[in-house]
Amino acid sequence: MTKTPLPQELIRKKRDGRELSDDELRFWVAGVTDGSLPDYQVAAMLMAIYWRGLGDRELATWADAMLHSGDVLDLSSIERPKVDKHSTGGVGDKISIPLAPAVAACGVAVPMVSGRGLGHTGGTLDKLESIPGFDVRLEVPRFTELVRDLGVCLIGQTDRIAPADRRLYALRDVTGTVESIPLIASSIMSKKLAEGIDGLVLDCKVGRGAFMKNRGDARALGAAIQAIGRAAGKRVTVMITAMDAPIGTTIGNALEVRESVAVLRGEGPADTRELTVALGGEMLAVAGLCSTDEGRKRIASVLDDGSALDIFRKLVEAQGGDPRVADDPAAVLPAARHREPITAPRDGFVETIFADEAGIAALILGAGRRRKEDDVDPAVGVELAVAVGDEVRKGQPLAFLCHNETGVDAARERLAGAFQISEHAPGRSRILEVLQ
Rounded Cα distance, 119 and 258, in Å: 22
Which residues make up the interface to ligand URA (CB under 6 A)? 183-184, 187-188
211 or 354, CB closer to ligand URA? 211
Among candidates 41, 69, 51, which has minimal Cα distance to 14? 51
Least distance in angstroms from the C-beta of 77 to ligand URA: 27
Closer to ligand URA by Cβ: residue 212 or 401 = 212
How far apart, in whole angstroms, are the C-alpha atoms of residue 246 and residue 386? 11
Q: Closest separation between CB of residue 220 and ligand URA, Å? A: 14
Residue 199, beta-bridge partner list? 83, 235
CB of 125 to ligand URA, least distance (A): 13
Give exposure, 345-366, as e/b (b: 16+ Cβ within 10 Å).
eeebbbbbbbbbbbbbbbbbbb
- Cβ proximity to ligand URA: between 173 and 391 the closer is 173
Considering beta carbons, is residue 72 or 300 the nearer one to ligand URA? 72
Q: How many CB atoms lie within 10 A of CB 328?
A: 11
Nearest distance from residue 89's CB to ligand URA, in Å? Answer: 6
Question: Measured from the CB atom, is 188 or 308 closer to ligand URA?
Answer: 188
Q: Please name which of 324, 329, 211, 215 lies closest in space to residue 262, comparing C-alpha atoms.
A: 329
Please give the positions annotated as active site: 86, 165, 172, 187, 191
Tell me how far, at minimum, the Cβ of 202 lies from ligand URA, in Å: 11
In the complex, least distance from residue 187 CB atom to ligand URA, rounded to whole angstroms: 3
- Residue closer to ligand URA (CB basis): 100 or 379: 100
Between 52 and 166, name the residue whose CB sits nearer to ligand URA.
Answer: 166
Rounded to a whole number of angstroms, the minimum distance from the CB of residue 185 to ligand URA is 8
Q: Which residue is nearest to ligand URA (CB)?
A: 187
Long-range CB pairs of 8-16 (<8 Å, 24+ gap) are 8/41, 10/45, 11/41, 11/44, 11/45, 11/48, 14/45, 14/48, 14/49, 14/52, 15/44, 15/48, 15/51, 15/52
